[in-house]
Structure 1
């Protein structure tokens, strides 16, 4: 009897231990392992949710946070978070009102106090992105974090003028950069790609500062001027042998004095022999707009030869044995360039990325650029290569089977059959394809050619060209039905299983709905990001031919959460239109109609249409009204201006919590009119947004 009771108690104890084992939770993991798990979470909202579980998790999340982007009003620094002491990468370029100085420039005491608060809140920062209106901001940045290693300066407003404002050595921008370089001796990365200044300001600042530690220098400025040969040589000489990455907007046009030539490139290589990344872009090729007016009838580059020759390129590549990433986007032709890239393959054994523009004769059989495949070429982007044939493209793919990013722009001889053969060879590695301005590759032909990699592509850029397709469909009813059945059979059965980013370009006044209606993009279960760019002159059309652009067609993709709608190159009449034309409000209604039908949209990056004659880019009543109906929207970035009474309509969006109004186009207006959105208007809007509260 005693033994039976003992057996029963033992069995009951085992059941209790088993039940306790079932209830083992994530809290039972050792703290060091749990902190490592939280550190691997990249999503910001997931990290914020984890920090609300308990005090222990809150401390772990704050202790493992390495990146932070601050948003909010610069007038509410008393709400600055003080628990992110481990943050190393800090972005304060989005502080509202956007474009204003983070530090109170009108009061030196307030500026120093702000710098002290920021230093106490984020003492471990080594990577900083900041909007700098003048030299005072840069001086306070250097005083706050003297141990900075990476700095990204942002400024879209006009360059400050003063003593030496004509671009001489005493120029304001030169003094700003000189103070930054002298105050931060550990600075190794300097990014000025979004810093509006003059090209002649940078070389004096580098020459007068101890900039020998710079390893990365990004000078792909959005300003229209490119660097002359003397300026680029001065920059290379000032940086010296430690420079590993150089990005610069240059002047390659042989019709101008002091343009970049073979001698200049060879001297740059002599000054900086350890370059691993070299991106040199002609100032005429950096623009995003596509204007083929300057091209010849063959749809290629201008007839003039470039100032860079094949022999010069061979010498350049021989002088840079560590080169891994090369981008040479010229504005004129380099003929019979295959020997130059054979020399690149011999001298550089680890070339993994090539971005070339206006190079002819790149490949002949297994020679030329095909030789770079043995070095592990993974990224290949070619533009304005008039003689690139299907056979040459196939030879490149066969020699480089590990290419994951393929881009073609203005390659008139590439046919759908050649592209299909190329992607078939690369079907195991290809994840990103960008095809632009290729006349033989209409939208339907392009998507048919990409059938071998449809299930593996993650990033796709397509030009929406419907004219030829629509004309063929209107020829007869029977032929139209047969063609649609074939399209359904071809596109309806196969899904784009891994596609998460889709980028589209379309001409003004054309519809985008055929992309989905014709089953060209049938099923994308993972599509989260959609980018649409519209270019063209709306003034050539009396009015839109249809009621809406076609955004409603993308409502079938429930995972679509981010939309970038760029209408900045859709040019029209801003305030008043002549008889028979429509102003931008009608066109904005046309393009935004149906955006409220996107069920999962959470982020909108919107560039309103513009009137470049008066340098105006702003939202109108129809645009604000349609966006205010997107009830699930959480983040809204408007790259333009708006009237205050219209912008207040956005308070109807229940989930909206992050709004930025940005005048980030050159030159950004310093003096706003009395009725447009100003700094005080933005503060009033943010105050009302905070009073309303946030649901989560």
Structure 2
């Protein structure tokens, strides 16, 4: 076909580069392009922009350095401890440049000779290549050496993520700051970075607009203060979580030097009112605010309401000291609020949501989690005053009753998603109110809804024809009759029936025949289902990609065989504690599903042959404890 190669003969270099850029960031697609020919490989290397690299393994530094050498145009790099340079190398295919040659053995027959790829030397690293620190402990993960290679090889780097790179210090960040002047985003998680590293980033990366620090040890307020003093004007997003060193001093600096900040996520134990007030006064462009500050109270949130009038999304977590007074101030000052999440705010009552509902009529997403003093009246206010509500999540709200949903059904006709978890007083009547008023509902998720049964499902099926996702975990009153109605009225794509112990094969038959486009199915902990139900799913749901059928005592190898023969698109399968499923059934799943990526099963049910054939996709549940 070489004589018919019109693309390489006619297509100019710059146009081919643009074609490769438009391929996207998927590694498989880019690797496929690199295998076309030598020219495409060279161009692909020169234009690849994203990479996810290993941080663990004895040769992590060499792998990162090799990537920086081969792909100098990288602008988005994520270095992750969960990836290993050793195991990752073993799975790499032989590069195109080392294609198999042909030789003749003594018998005269031609044989293929595969040359060892360059990465193969990382599979069994010699102990002499392990670096040893000052404390005498050998390092088997990425160090400042690898980060320095990346900085010098990819000077156009714009986004860098370091996840659990525990051997990296300030020295590595200094090298990044010296070489990568275009850096705009830096995400550091669980790295022992000192103050000099953060200060250097501030001095060298004046374009930095996104900074995320999580579990960052070794630094103090001095590091963050030095950073924001130098590049605070460009910062738009800042996240600091679980950093014990952070105090009000850092937030005073943020308030003084970051006037353009729009996103702030803060989890800190030692921050008090003063720090939050400083941010509120200095960062008046804030649009998204996530706070978990045990030491802050009403004064801090009142300042947010007074100065942050552009606020659109607010999440308050584990506040023990603020009351309804705080939300009253926020409601008065933040009229553009669309997203509100209240998690474990024990002192809030129904009046808080009344203030919000009356003043913030743009509320579209509301989450209430563990606010035990909120009762039915709180949701009634939302139903009366927030007609644009799209998503509602109630988690452990034991005092909310069915009557609240009457107002929600009347006033929130645009509601798309409803999540109910551990709301013990909510029953069928509540669901009927929602179904009759919110006909655009596309997602309904209920967990441990012990008072919700078939009556609710029949109403949903009759009214909510757009429903795509339904989750009914441990709703013990739901039976086959409810599923029959759902299958007749809704074309589901995701269905979770985990723990609905009244469901039988008959119910699964209704779903298989009424919802042929289903992609996700969880039928775990269903003692009454067996092979017939699995066979119906296999015949009626050819698009199924994910299935969980753990703790199903009635399922056997026969049923699994029927299931996988019909569901050829299956990618993940959970298959634990099914006592009648044997190693034969596991082997059938592996051999019949060419797209399978993950199979969760007991290790004792995997034969040696299956292990050799499908080792990378097997996940084992520890049953020996």
Q: Does 1:659 align with 2:603?
A: no
Counting only pairs closer than 5 Å after superposition, residues 620-631 of structure 1 correspond to structure 2 as: 629=564, 631=566
- The alpha-carbon distance between structure 1 residues 445 and 173, as it changes in their structure 2 partners (threshold 3 A), is farther
Please, which runs of 5 or more residues in structure 2 have no aligned partner?
1-10, 84-140, 218-239, 618-625
Match of 1:369 in 2: 356
- The alpha-carbon distance between structure 1 residues 561 and 395, as it changes in their structure 2 partners (threshold 3 A), is same
The residue matched to 1:519 in structure 2 has which SS?
helix
- The offset of 1:181, in angstroms, is 6.0
Match of 2:209 in 1: 215
Match of 1:397 in 2: 383
Contact 1:216 1:243 in 2 (8 A): no
Please, which runs of 5 or more residues in structure 1 have no aligned partner?
1-54, 94-99, 162-170, 252-257, 283-305, 471-483, 536-543, 571-585, 610-619, 664-671, 687-696
Contact 1:366 1:399 in 2 (8 A): no
Q: 1:330 aligns with which of 318, 339, 344?
A: 318
Tell me how far apart the structure 1 counterparts of residues 18 and 214 of structure 2 sit (CA, whole Å).
36
Match of 1:576 in 2: none
Counting only pairs closer than 5 Å after superposition, residues 188-587 of structure 1 correspond to structure 2 as: 188-191=184-187, 197=190, 205-210=197-202, 213-218=207-212, 227=242, 230-231=245-246, 240-241=257-258, 242-248=260-266, 250=267, 258-269=269-280, 272-281=283-292, 307-330=295-318, 332=320, 334-335=322-323, 337=324, 339-359=325-345, 360-361=347-348, 363-364=350-351, 368-374=355-361, 376-427=362-413, 429-442=414-427, 444-466=428-450, 468=451, 490=459, 494-506=462-474, 516-517=482-483, 519=485, 522-525=488-491, 527-530=492-495, 554-563=511-520, 565=522
Tell me how far apart the structure 1 counterparts of residues 614 and 457 of structure 2 sit (CA, whole Å).
52
Q: How many residues matched?
A: 501
The residue matched to 1:450 in structure 2 has which SS?
helix
Tell me how far apart the structure 2 counterparts of residues 605 and 175 of structure 1 sit (CA, whole Å).
47
Q: Provide, for residues 224-269 of structure 1, a one-character-per-residue CA deviation record: whole Å limited to 9, x for no partner.
A: x962564265775787515432334x35xxxxxx544323433444
Tell me how far apart the structure 2 counterparts of residues 187 and 627 of structure 1 sit (CA, whole Å).
53
Contact 1:390 1:414 in 2 (8 A): yes
Q: Does 1:106 align with 2:44?
A: no
- The offset of 1:456, in angstroms, is 0.5
Query: What CA RMSD, in Å, does the superposition of the two structures yield over aligned residues?
Result: 5.7
- The alpha-carbon distance between structure 1 residues 317 and 417, as it changes in their structure 2 partners (threshold 3 A), is same
Contact 1:67 1:89 in 2 (8 A): no
Tell me how far apart the structure 1 counterparts of residues 165 and 24 of structure 2 sit (CA, whole Å).
31
- The alpha-carbon distance between structure 1 residues 102 and 202, as it changes in their structure 2 partners (threshold 3 A), is closer
Tell me how far apart the structure 1 counterparts of residues 242 and 197 of structure 2 sit (CA, whole Å).
15
Higher relative contact order (CA 8 A, sep 6+): 1
- The offset of 1:502, in angstroms, is 3.0
- The offset of 1:354, in angstroms, is 0.9
The residue matched to 2:54 in structure 1 has which SS?
coil
Tell me how far apart the structure 2 counterparts of residues 558 and 309 of structure 1 sit (CA, whole Å).
50
The normalised TM-score by structure 1 is 0.56
Q: Does 1:135 align with 2:120?
A: no
Q: Does 1:172 align with 2:168?
A: yes
- The offset of 1:67, in angstroms, is 4.0
Contact 2:390 2:417 in 1 (8 A): yes
- The alpha-carbon distance between structure 1 residues 489 and 547, as it changes in their structure 2 partners (threshold 3 A), is closer
The normalised TM-score by structure 2 is 0.61
